[in-house]
Homo-oligomer: A and B are copies of this chain.
Amino acid sequence: MNSPHQVMLLSEMKPGQFADSFVLLVSKERSITRDGKPYFRAHFRDNSITATAMIWSDTTWFEDCESNWTEGEFYKVRARYDESKYGPQLDIDRIRLANADDEADGFDPGFYFKRSRFSSEEMFQELTEITNTEISDVPLRNLVLDILSAYEEQIKTIAAASKNHHAFTGGFLEHVLSVTKTACYLADKYLAYYQKMQPPLNKSLVVAGAILHDIGKLRELEYKPHGSQYTPAGRLVGHILLGRDLVREHAVKIEGLNPEMLLRLEHLIVAHQNLPEWGSPIAPHTPEALLVHYADDVDAKFHMMATTLENVLPGSQEEFSSRDNALRRSIFVGLKSNE
């Protein structure tokens, strides 16, 4: 039915089909067969599925793979697609780097990466402004500004997670900014309500905590546009501890920072996931930590639900989404008329 060399998406290929396709090299892993020969497992994907090409040492592409193929680059491949017990497979006949001319054939790198729909520049600027206007405690404000400027590039690009929520370029910043705004709202509100608390609710701390609660993600995840991965420290120590480290490292340089304020900020980071089974060794013991926990949690969970509803196909007659989302729950789409 299809001509052999047509250009099509990897995810549209059927078992046994032979076609051209633009694909992203996600990773290549070197390994060794039982009889001691090296080979590579190269993983290519489009925006929805990933297929593996086995590159044996005695085959055409071994040397090219070893020397030249680069993770994160796009390639045009001519290959046979198959499905084995190990999942989707590609048997590569030809391969070359994709280039500008390919765009005439419909190649669009942006198609392969998800990114925030908001400008990282603008989000970062807005976060900086909030820092300047909403954190009245000067040393605390300086601490936040110091961290923001030290990691500006990373903050502007990394994802908030490897999957689950905001798992795309700029997702970290999008999430942090949203959490911070909600935290400002809640701080203003409850500061006005509960005026007899001793000590009073500290809005500077709420805002600083919201901005920094997930800062350990900078060390927990190794950002790649084609998908973030956990670092060894991320898996062995975790972003909560790594984030507290980062804050403490910068805190020593901030003149006049109140030690109790720093302790409260550390506690807020440690406690922001609320329960041991959700990752926090200690539950919130201050009102500021409580507010940041809620501002964070509602943003993450709402994102999961919103994403599910954004991906409902127009014209679908299903009344509920599938359970295949980060909430592991079918979301109600709406009643369908029966006529």
Query: Cα distance A312–B197 when bound, in Å?
Result: 8
| Chain B, Cβ-Cβ closest to A310 | B196
B305 to A290, Cβ gap below 8 A? Answer: yes
Interface size range of chain A in the complex: 35 or more
A324 at the interface (CB under 8 A from B): no
B260 to A335, Cβ gap below 8 A? Answer: yes
Among A190, A280, A297, A333, the most chain B Cβ lie within 10 Å of the Cβ of A190
A185 at the interface (CB under 8 A from B): yes
- Segment among A127-135, A139-147, A156-164, A231-239 that sits at the interface with chain B: A231-239
A291 at the interface (CB under 8 A from B): yes
Can you tell how many copies of this chain the complex includes? 6
A29 at the interface (CB under 8 A from B): yes
A281 at the interface (CB under 8 A from B): yes
A61 at the interface (CB under 8 A from B): no
**Residues A5-38 near B (CB distance < 8 A):** 14-15, 29-32, 38
B199 to A267, Cβ gap below 8 A? Answer: no
A280 to B277, Cβ gap below 8 A? Answer: no
Residue numbers of A with Cβ under 8 A of B are: 14-15, 29-32, 38, 83-85, 178, 181-182, 185-186, 189-190, 193-194, 196-199, 201, 232-233, 235-238, 240-241, 244-245, 248, 259-260, 263-264, 266-267, 270, 276-277, 279-283, 285-287, 290-291, 294, 297-298, 301-302, 305-306, 309-310, 312-320, 329-335
| Chain B, Cβ-Cβ closest to A232 | B319
Which B residues are CB-close (under 8 A) to A333?
Answer: 198-199
Among A236, A276, A291, A312, the most chain B Cβ lie within 10 Å of the Cβ of A236
Which B residues are CB-close (under 8 A) to A279?
Answer: 276, 281
Which B residues are CB-close (under 8 A) to A260?
Answer: 334-335
